[in-house]
Each structure stands twice: as C-alpha cells, then as structure tokens.
Amino acid sequence: MIIVCQKPLKKLKINGIALFPFIFVRKPEDKENNVLINHEKIHLRQQLELLIFFFYIFYVIEYYYHLFKLKDPYLAYKNISFEREAYAMESDLNYLKKRKLWRFWKYL
C-alpha cells in the first residue's frame, strides 16, 4: 500500500480513493486519518480478492443498478456492497486482521 496526496482530488468531493496498490488522499493531513485509510485499505483487499479488474467491473455494474433503482447518485454509491462493507467496518482498525475472504458478499 502506497499513500499519495493528490492535488486532482481537491476538485472532487471525495477524501480518498483506492486504486491498487495506491491510496490517494485529498489533503496531506488525510494520511493520518486512520478511519479513512482503513476504509481505503478495505477496498484494496476487495480489489485483490477480485483480481483488481473484476472489482471495478462489479463496482460499476452495482453502481448503475442502484442508480437505476434509486434514482439518486449518492444513494447508489452508498448501496454498493463494497462501500457498505467499508463504511460499516472503517472504524474497526483491526478488521482486516480478522476479515474473512470475500466478506463483501454479506453486504449484497
């Protein structure tokens, strides 16, 4: 895992994004935000489990499924199984040590 502070994120409404093997954060101080970093580390694990490429395919499919169903981009994002797992467990800094394989399926 490599944490990078990226200026282009300043124009987006996100604080961080995981693009294997990197975690990009908006502000330098976000590197010290353990909850944000843990959230993004959960995404890195999910990406590895799905061989990276398939993670992005499923992520986009799930997003558009929820967007069509809910008609709200933010709610569509929040209902993606990968995001549901990451948000639910981001505060548990030991989660990745005990996380079972493909745990995001629980959040479908």
The per-residue pLDDT for range 13-22, each reduced to its tens digit, is 899 999 999 9
Give tens-digit pLDDT for 67-77: 999 999 999 99
- Can you tell me which residue has the tokens 């395919």? 57
68 assigned to some structural domain = yes
Distance CA(34)–CA(40), nearest Å, equals 10
Q: Check residues 81 and 5 and name the one with the higher pLDDT.
A: 81
The reported pTM is: 0.93
Contacts 24+ apart (CB under 8 A), 100-104: 101/49, 102/49, 104/46, 104/49
- In terms of residue numbers, what domain contains 62? 33-107
Residue 3: strand pairing partners: 23
18 assigned to some structural domain = no
28 assigned to some structural domain = no
13 assigned to some structural domain = no
Phi (first) and psi of residue 11, to 5 degrees: -85, -15
23 assigned to some structural domain = no
26 assigned to some structural domain = no
pLDDT band at 11 (very low <50, low <70, confident <90, very high): confident
> Does residue 6 have a pLDDT over 80?
no
92 assigned to some structural domain = yes
Structural domain count, the chain: 1
